[in-house]
Amino acid sequence: MDKILIHGGRPLSGSIKISGSKNSALPILAATLLTREPCILHRVPDLSDTHYMLQILMHLGAQVERASGTVTVNAEKIESIAPYEVVRKMRASVCVLGPLLGRCKEATVSLPGGCVIGDRPIDLHLKGFEALGAAIRVEGGNVKVFAPKLTGAIINLTGKFGPTVLGTDNVMMAAVLAEGITVIEGAATEPEVVDLADFLNKMGAKIEGAGTRRLIIEGVKELHGAEHDIIPDRIEAGTFLVAGAIAGKGVTIKRVVREHVSSVTDALIACGYQIQWAENSITVSPNGAVKPLEIATEPYPGFPTDMQAQMCALLSTTEGISVITENIFPQRYMHVAELKRMGAHVQLEGSTAVIQGVERLFGAPVMASDLRASAALVLAGLKAEGRTEVSRVYHIDRGYEHLDEKLSELGAHIERVKA
């Protein structure tokens, strides 16, 4: 397993280009199952997770071609059983359920395991499918959904932790081929949900209200092929903005949608960093004294849970007492134990982390656990004195396209070691 070595203390500067969004590409790749015609997707990031999704599509019978960032999928002939050996590798595989139910009126996918950020239920996905007329059967570690036909319904997808992103995606992808009108109340409003709705509408779907809590979907008989550019990855963008804050003297990120990262830029401004916007880029620079922060993760447009670990790394070296509350995945603190091994002072109290900023962090061998926790350890290593060795970097490769290479372009002393 590869490792990433970081020699901290080198100031970052310069600019990097943000890749296409992982969390947009995954459901959009799944959505290509909804048509017999070819779909062409541009700016699909080269990640383990997108690789797994392409494997699933091929296992289902789709023809897949990839030429650098462009992927062509032809799902003319498909079956409806997603194989365990591929699905088990990625929880987001669950988002093939909706398109398979919409297209084939049945689907069998192995149940998503939990993962290190806690239990990952799909009860809301299944509630939406049942409302559309599907029967659900859970057996042998698989979930099977089937319906003689799908009929539009009024569905509320709000759960105890708020809206569900992939649940909204899944139900929307089934509803586009249902008979009649479906209204999804309590829909997720993340930019990735909007990007999926835009793609589905290009395929001939009739979806209104994307980006609001209320989606109105008029079912159609069938969908046709379409071509689409995946939006930039706002979490990668946020991660590099935090890198620029923790160790930069002027870092610019290009190909970013300003409003998609406004909660992150607001947080960095509140901490005392300077943010400058240009046409299609954002620059973060130090701007004198920095201040501690109290912040809570919320559904979009609030501060994203996927940026919580990265913020924890930054606030670990920000003088004063900061408080982070994790409202989406309350156990999402795998990074804390490792940050403490680097000298951070973080006290966990339920879903809240109380952070006493320290003068300096010290490089150490640390272990990646989940995608964003791993990124947080790399960010801490940029700041820490000495050498940090991050093992199990396959977690990083799931969701960041060439993270070490991009940080190296910004001047970081970072290298990937084949273990």
Which residues are annotated as catalytic? 115
Q: Looking at beta carbons only, is 189 or 317 nearer to ligand EPZ?
A: 189
Cα–Cα–Cα angle for 363, 252, 69, rounded to 5 degrees: 95
Q: How many chain residues are in contact with ligand EPZ, going by CB under 6 A?
A: 24
Helices then strands, each counted (H, E), the chain: 14, 24
**Using CB under 6 A, which of 53, 132, 165, 309 touches ligand EPZ?**
165
State the burial class of residue 287 (Cβ atoms within 10 Å of its Cβ: 0-12, 13-18, 19+). Answer: middle
Q: Looking at beta carbons only, is 168 or 252 nearer to ligand EPZ?
A: 168
Q: Looking at beta carbons only, is 186 or 363 nearer to ligand EPZ?
A: 186
Three-state DSSP state, 69: coil
Give the range of 161-169, 222-230, 315-323, 354-362 binding ligand EPZ by CB under 6 A.
Answer: 161-169
Q: Does the protein bind ligand EPZ through residue 159 (CB under 6 A)?
A: yes
Q: Does the protein bind ligand EPZ through residue 26 (CB under 6 A)?
A: yes
Q: Does the protein bind ligand EPZ through residue 30 (CB under 6 A)?
A: no
Report the run of H or E that residue 4 belongs to, with start and end. Answer: strand 3-7
Where do the DSSP E strands lie in 195-267?
206-208, 214-218, 227-229, 248-254
Q: Looking at beta carbons only, is 125 or 144 nearer to ligand EPZ?
A: 125
**Using CB under 6 A, which of 23, 55, 80, 317 touches ligand EPZ?**
23
Question: Site mask, ligand EPZ, residues 88-127, x = CB under 6 A?
Answer: ----x---------------------------xxxxxx--
| Token digits of residue 46 | 């080269």
Give the range of 18-26, 61-69, 273-281, 347-355 binding ligand EPZ by CB under 6 A.
Answer: 18-26
CA distances (Å), origin 79, targets 5, 177, 182, 242: 44, 17, 26, 43
Q: Does the protein bind ligand EPZ through residue 134 (CB under 6 A)?
A: no
Strands of the sheet containing 214-218, edge to edge, are 154-156, 181-185, 214-218, 206-208
- Find the shortest distance in angstroms from Cβ 23 to ligand EPZ: 3
- Find the shortest distance in angstroms from Cβ 320 to ligand EPZ: 28
Query: By CB under 6 A, what part of segment 257-286 binds ligand EPZ?
Result: none
Give the range of 35-43, 156-164, 288-296, 387-395 binding ligand EPZ by CB under 6 A.
Answer: 156-164
Q: How many CB atoms lie within 10 A of CB 351?
A: 17
Q: Does the protein bind ligand EPZ through residue 301 (CB under 6 A)?
A: no
User: From CA 2, how far away is CA 119, in angstroms rounded?
Assistant: 28
CA distances (Å), origin 232, targets 235, 261, 272: 9, 11, 26
Q: Does the protein bind ligand EPZ through residue 238 (CB under 6 A)?
A: no
- Find the shortest distance in angstroms from Cβ 192 to ligand EPZ: 6
Q: What single-letter DSSP state applies at residue 418?
A: -
Residues 380/344, Cβ–Cβ less than 8 Å: yes
- Find the shortest distance in angstroms from Cβ 376 to ligand EPZ: 11
Give the range of 22-30, 250-258, 266-274, 404-412 binding ligand EPZ by CB under 6 A.
Answer: 22-30
Give the range of 163-171, 195-203, 282-290, 336-344 binding ligand EPZ by CB under 6 A.
Answer: 163-171
Residues 415/389, Cβ–Cβ less than 8 Å: no
Q: Does the protein bind ligand EPZ through residue 328 (CB under 6 A)?
A: yes
Q: Does the protein bind ligand EPZ through residue 302 (CB under 6 A)?
A: no
| Token digits of residue 108 | 């069998």
Strands of the sheet containing 321-325, edge to edge, are 294-296, 321-325, 352-356, 345-349
Q: Does the protein bind ligand EPZ through residue 372 (CB under 6 A)?
A: yes
Q: Does the protein bind ligand EPZ through residue 306 (CB under 6 A)?
A: yes
Q: Looking at beta carbons only, is 32 or 305 nearer to ligand EPZ?
A: 305
Q: Does the protein bind ligand EPZ through residue 365 (CB under 6 A)?
A: no
Position 119, amino acid: D
Position 35, amino acid: T
CA 263 from chain center: how many Å? 16
State the burial class of residue 118 (Cβ atoms within 10 Å of its Cβ: 0-12, 13-18, 19+). Answer: middle
Residues 101/145, Cβ–Cβ less than 8 Å: yes
The residue whose two tokens read 């156990």 is: 331
**Using CB under 6 A, which of 161, 323, 348, 365 touches ligand EPZ?**
161
Give the range of 20-28, 173-181, 307-315, 361-369 binding ligand EPZ by CB under 6 A.
Answer: 20-28
Residues in the site for ligand EPZ, rule: CB under 6 A? 22-23, 26, 92, 120-125, 159, 161, 164-167, 192, 305-306, 328-329, 371-372, 399
